[in-house]
Homo-oligomer: A and B are copies of this chain.
């Protein structure tokens, strides 16, 4: 088995050992010292169990994900066993209570997400789809029967989900979707789904496909179980991506795919169905982007200290390079605080979608801008994937774009601030 250590304790993150956590940096003399990995002392805001969960997630990611990402990224390969490993650790659907899920708080969930994306945004995407979009969607919109049927297996990573909303001609504007559902002309209690979805993470390997389609003109949610489908479904992979290559992406092509009535979400109608799922995923992206940025800072800092130019001085002695590190560190620290804040409010039911738009937009934007600036420190070596920075830069462009492109979030927030909408 993959990680026998974790087989002896219940596979929920909430009971992980605390050994990796540190509460605050201090010098040998016991005095407080500046910790470049936590410049604003955010560790002080975390509970013991949150620190423990974060430490466990970090250990798993650094030990088990980091060693395979370089090759996976090159080969555009996604190892679906990762989901099972994450399932064993209790990382999937971690905020869900019951159904074999860990039931942790939103900050703990964010900390996990940050650790996964510290390795690679693609791995985080794979997890987000499973956890936030599909499991989260079933938990929020599904019947009790649907929850019991799907969630426990998904929590273990035995059953993989994907989330079918975006269409080839409708990215930022899902309300114009063309995928339709209609009642089967002859079979009672059966719907027929037709249409195409694209840029769907995990679609080629998913067992359960959550499809948003118009039924009688209203957007509704359906769960296609691949194992039950006899015809009309194909999920070709999209290859040769220039980012997020350690994640598998594909289309979903549906031509009268049959779905039984018990796989329809019973009551949610309109875009609030998919949007509530996206809201959870966006919250996670805000956290994840900070993880990726922190890894860029770490790599750039190390490189700037080791690389010597001109009279043997390290690059770190250049003012122009220090400024890049400082800008990035500041944005990472500020972004982390904002993520924690929204997480705490989310636990209380006080996190509004606009708040999530704000942290998703800002953290993705700043992660990307800073990662690009840090990439310059590596000079020619940046072109080599071995240094990791180029991979993060390419990934972060995608995270800025998906689940609400940055400009779209600007308009969502602009509307919230002014009360006036500026979508054309």
Contact = CB atoms under 8 A, between A and B. Distances in A.
Interface of A: 24, 32-34, 36, 39-42, 44-45, 74, 166, 169-173, 176, 198-199, 238, 240-244, 301, 304-305, 308-311, 313-314, 316-323, 325-327, 329-330, 333-335, 337-338, 341-342, 344-345, 348, 350-352, 354-355, 358-359, 361-362, 372, 375-376, 379-385, 390-391, 393-394, 397-398, 400-402, 405-407, 410-411, 413-424
Cβ-closest 5 pairs across A and B: A322-B414, A319-B319, A242-B390, A316-B418, A173-B309
Nearest to A71: B240
A253 to B, nearest CB: 17
Contacts of A317: 420-422, 424
A172 B309 contact: yes
Given A308-B169, A350-B32, A384-B241, A342 B40 contact: yes
A241 B310 contact: no
A391 B391 CA distance: 14
Number of chain copies forming the complex: 4
B411 A322 contact: yes
Contacts of A24: 350
Contact of A319 (B318, B335, B394): B318
Contact of A326 (B171, B375, B414): B414
Identify whether the interface residues of A are mostly helix, strand, loop, or mixed: helix
22 contacts: A34-B352, A34-B416, A39-B417, A40-B341, A41-B352, A42-B341, A172-B310, A173-B309, A198-B380, A238-B384, A241-B385, A242-B394, A244-B383, A301-B418, A318-B407, A319-B414, A322-B411, A334-B334, A337-B337, A337-B338, A376-B405, A383-B398
A401 B420 contact: no
